[in-house]
Structure 1
Amino acid sequence: MEPINQFMEELNKRSPRNLLSPEQQLDKMLRSSDYLKAFRQNHPQVERDDLLRSLSAVYTAVKEHYWCGNCPGLSKCPNLVRGHYAELDVQHGQVVSAMVACDKQRAHEEEERTRRLVRSYYVSDETLSASFESLEVDESNQLTVAAAMRFCRELAPGEKQGKGLYLHGPFGVGKSYLMGAIARELSRRGIASLMVYVPDFVREIKESIADNSYVGKLELLKEIPVLILDDIGAESVTPWIRDEVLGVILHQRVNGHLPTLYTSNYSFDELEEHLSISNGNRIENTKAKRIMERIRHYTNAYVIEGENRRKSL
């Protein structure tokens, strides 16, 4: 049997005066191409003349399957359409070809889709690349991880579900990383999310008061299917941030039955105390309770204990 690579090299070396005839090209492809042999086996009705009439399509498919078998990587793909190959088929008695995305191209498209679905403000690349497969699960977090996986499993694309998650515990126990895994899993299921590192986002919002550009920035947080507020309670509280930013966002999300997820170093009670203290020493319990009503009753709370994982990095 003539190796397919020998046939391809021979075609490339021939001058225009010394080209193979169509019959010779087909004979060599039939001898050397496992792909073409399998195609004929799967389509026994295809005659030799059918292949000759579509020789250009046959040659392209054989050549591109050869390159796919010796893939140099997606960025160096030599096929006519990068990341795709010609696939032969029979339609109305004629041999035709269609472009099909290869595994590497599909993986690349999935990665791009994930990036579009998982948006973020001030969240590290490490957190955004998290996955349930890469999580370290032990007694300190196994119940929380199970709850996170259940949340992802039960949230259907296009459907609304008002109840989110509230993860709290000490520094460095993996709360944010787990939220990153949730965001990635949701993206695989076609559900968009936005993960926001609250302290830096609050700082940006304050800076955008002068030109009113904060209004547009808040719209996405109100409407995104799943909002993840990372490290709530670490921000500096002002009445405006609490009532006109956080309060407005949570009010609209509750009314729209859109789940909001949180990480914090504070328990519910501790966060309420934090939100009640504004402008340094002013205590506003009622307004803090109003915010907490929209957190307590629309999340399931889980505490993550354990050692600070960052110390071992």
Structure 2
Amino acid sequence: MERINTALSQWDGNSELQKRLDQAKQSLLESPYITSFLDKHPDVTNEMITGGLTKLYEYKKEREHCDHCPGLKKCPNLMQGYQPELFIERNHIEIQYHACNLKVQDEKQKQEQGLIQSLYIPKEILTASFEQLDAGTERMEASRAALQFAMNAKPGEDGSGLYFYGKFGVGKTYLMGAIANELKDRGIETFIIFTPDFFREMRQSIGDGSFQSKLDAVKKAQVLILDDIGAETTSSWTRDDVLGAILQHRMLEKLPTLFTSNYDYDELERHLAYSDKGGTEELKALRIMERIKHYTSLIMVKGENRRS
């Protein structure tokens, strides 16, 4: 009698376990992620579902993570930065992973930074945002223009940009960082380049054969920010073959270019007119400036030097 009672107890336990398994399976099949997959594959049988329950559960769990994405660095998925995808192979439900948009953007940025060392993103710029911006009355015009550009930029349709000028340390680069981070949230690729380092790097790249690939990457960026233009040691070559080529392409393709400088338009034109060959080349400088003036709004950034 005791053995029979033990057997019945085990049977009841198994029955309860099976009940819970059935409930879990039903809950899984009611998930919108799973119903969407099954709707696209009406030939999936109950046998295939039973055999693929582990894959279906994994897919549901990982997709829920993606829908509540905490960012690439905190991604809880089995493969960080990768999204799951279900497919049918030989009458079995299988799962595979592909890089999500954040992972793709991160890899692209790493490649770009590996290619162009002068991509200028200091730590304080990485976290620049309009929410944390201390606009003040002196920087109100610049802040409004920056936010308006960030919210409305349409690379390929409108090539209009901004030209921020003012004294050292008034926050020109920080404003550009806020623009770049806002554009990133909109999925728009932005290069922030420290112009003096960029020109030095381009001269060096002739020797290692990377000049054209670097030039093309900058020319084709959806939004380009040339930080501190005018601080570089200018030459006819950097002005005409580098800066001129970049601006010409971007003008034709309607890709916005933004600038920060200590110079206004006229002062930058005089700077660009300098020729390392001796004398000045005013006509060539004027050609560059015509492209800048026509496609940017000149805005003075006022305020105290925040670096001192």
Same fold (TM over 0.5): yes
What is the CA distance between 1:243 and its match in structure 2? 1.1
CA distance in 1, matches of 2:79, 2:295: 49
CA distance in 2, matches of 1:245, 1:227: 14
CA distance in 2, matches of 1:186, 1:234: 26
Which structure 1 segments of 5+ residues have no match? Answer: 1-17, 44-49, 87-95
The within-5 A match list for 1:126-145 is 126=123, 127-145=125-143
Structure 2 residue corresponding to 1:153, chosen from 126, 151, 155? 151
Which structure 2 segments of 5+ residues have no match? Answer: 1-9, 36-45, 66-70, 85-92
In structure 2, the CA distance between the partners of 1:22 and 1:229, relative to structure 1 (3 Å rule), is farther
Count, aligned residues? 267
Structure 2 residue corresponding to 1:113, chosen from 105, 129, 133? 105
What is the CA distance between 1:255 and its match in structure 2? 1.6
What is the CA distance between 1:173 and its match in structure 2? 1.2
What is the CA distance between 1:174 and its match in structure 2? 1.3
CA distance in 2, matches of 1:218, 1:59: 46
In structure 2, the CA distance between the partners of 1:300 and 1:26, relative to structure 1 (3 Å rule), is farther
Structure 2 residue corresponding to 1:57, chosen from 40, 50, 53? 53
Which residue of structure 2 aligns with residue 5 of structure 1?
A: none
The within-5 A match list for 1:132-281 is 132-156=130-154, 159-279=156-276
In structure 2, the CA distance between the partners of 1:184 and 1:24, relative to structure 1 (3 Å rule), is same
CA distance in 2, matches of 1:233, 1:297: 18
Q: List per-residue Cα deviations over 1:230-286 (Å, max 9, x = no partner).
A: 110000011111111111111121122211110111111111111112228622211
Give % identity: 40
Residue type of the partner of 2:15?
E
1:308 aligns with 2:305: yes
In structure 2, the CA distance between the partners of 1:221 and 1:26, relative to structure 1 (3 Å rule), is same
What is the CA distance between 1:99 and its match in structure 2? 9.9
CA distance in 1, matches of 2:232, 2:173: 16
Query: RMSD across aligned C-alpha pairs, in angstroms?
Result: 4.4
In structure 2, the CA distance between the partners of 1:155 and 1:309, relative to structure 1 (3 Å rule), is same
What is the CA distance between 1:132 and its match in structure 2? 2.0
What is the CA distance between 1:19 and its match in structure 2? 11
1:117/1:193 contact within 8 Å kept: no
TM-score (norm 2): 0.69
CA distance in 1, matches of 2:27, 2:170: 56
CA distance in 2, matches of 1:155, 1:229: 17
In structure 2, the CA distance between the partners of 1:220 and 1:57, relative to structure 1 (3 Å rule), is same
TM-score (norm 1): 0.68
1:162/1:298 contact within 8 Å kept: yes
CA distance in 2, matches of 1:82, 1:249: 36
Q: List per-residue Cα deviations over 1:7-50 (Å, max 9, x = no partner).
A: xxxxxxxxxxx99965332555799x9x959x69xx9xxxxxx9
Q: List per-residue Cα deviations over 1:146-189 (Å, max 9, x = no partner).
A: 111211222236x4212111011111111111111111211211
CA distance in 2, matches of 1:268, 1:114: 35
Where in structure 1 do 4 or more consecutive aligned residues deviate above 4 Å? 18-22, 26-31, 53-56, 58-62, 73-86, 96-101, 117-120
In structure 2, the CA distance between the partners of 1:113 and 1:26, relative to structure 1 (3 Å rule), is farther
What is the CA distance between 1:208 and its match in structure 2? 2.2
User: Which of 237-246 and 136-145 deviates more?
Assistant: 136-145
CA distance in 1, matches of 2:143, 2:259: 14
Which residue of structure 1 aligns with residue 6 of structure 2?
A: none
CA distance in 2, matches of 1:22, 1:74: 42
3-state SS of 1:185 partner: helix
In structure 2, the CA distance between the partners of 1:144 and 1:26, relative to structure 1 (3 Å rule), is farther
In structure 2, the CA distance between the partners of 1:189 and 1:78, relative to structure 1 (3 Å rule), is closer
3-state SS of 1:132 partner: coil
In structure 2, the CA distance between the partners of 1:232 and 1:79, relative to structure 1 (3 Å rule), is closer
CA distance in 2, matches of 1:220, 1:214: 10
Residue type of the partner of 1:113?
Q
Residue type of the partner of 1:254?
M
The within-5 A match list for 1:75-86 is none
In structure 2, the CA distance between the partners of 1:180 and 1:59, relative to structure 1 (3 Å rule), is closer
